[in-house]
Amino acid sequence: MRILIADDHDLVRETIGVYLGASGDISVESVSTLPEAVDCARAEGPFDLILLDYQMPGMFGLEGLERALAANPGGKIALISGNAPQAVARQALEKGASGFLPKTMSAQKMMQAVRHMAAGDVYFPAGLFEEDSPADTLVKLLSRREFEVLGGLCRGLSNKEIARELDLKEVTIKLHVRTLSKKLNAKNRTHAAMIARDAGLL
């Protein structure tokens, strides 16, 4: 079984890689960004399973999942995250993800989940969809593009920088900022970012 781990945290990437690799029948490769994961999948794939950190550089929300799915035809893709909202997990499932793994799960359960997903099953932890968190409530208010723009605000990017990342016009980003701020009852872009962070959204 061939697994690709994409996570920008060295410790997380190495810990998961060592544990999975110790099983003897799993070959593990790792990268730290989505572009690297896409390039690796195209050059060396398809992998049986790619584990994507939902919040690593280049993901832009679930756009990263879609890019990974396109780069790994026939293989499976799962998201891993420390605090992604439940609504994001739901959307990931709808877009074709094979699972969603919280970073807090035990190594043994992660191993079981990886084997299930590589075999074609879908894995989501029990209870994941039972109750919405504050972050889930915010996610439901925003469109996909507004969510991506909000991610840029949380990273302190200007409208011009966000426009460049998302390949949109600056005036379009300005409109999205105004709309999402209204939906979040935010006074300005900084307040919108604070609301998102306080809710654990980004």
CATH of domain 2-118: 3.40.50.2300
Give how far Cα 61 sits from Cα of 22, 25, 114, Å: 31, 32, 22
* pLDDT, tens only, 66-94: 999 999 998 899 988 866 666 777 788 88
134-198: CATH, from 1.10.10.10, 1.10.3210.10, 1.10.10.60, 3.40.50.10800:
1.10.10.10
CB 41 within 8 A of CB 2: no
* Other Cβ atoms within 10 Å of 193 Cβ, number: 22
Report the distance separating Cα 45 and Cα 25, nearest Å: 17
Flag whether pLDDT at 202 surpasses 80.
Answer: no
Please report the pLDDT score of residue 159 as a whole number: 93
* pLDDT, tens only, 27-68: 889 898 899 999 999 998 799 999 998 878 778 778 888 999
Topology match between the domains 2-118 and 134-198:
no
Smallest Cα–Cα separation from 78: which of 47, 57, 108? 47
Report the relative pairing of strands 49-53 and 99-102 from DSSP bridges: unpaired
Indicate the domain borders of the chain: 2-118, 134-198
Q: Which residues contact 176 (CB under 8 A, 6 or more apart)?
A: 145, 146, 149
pLDDT band (50, 70, 90) for residue 137: low
Please report the pLDDT score of residue 38 as a whole number: 93
Q: What mean pLDDT is predicted for residues 96-120? A: 84
Average pLDDT, the chain: 84
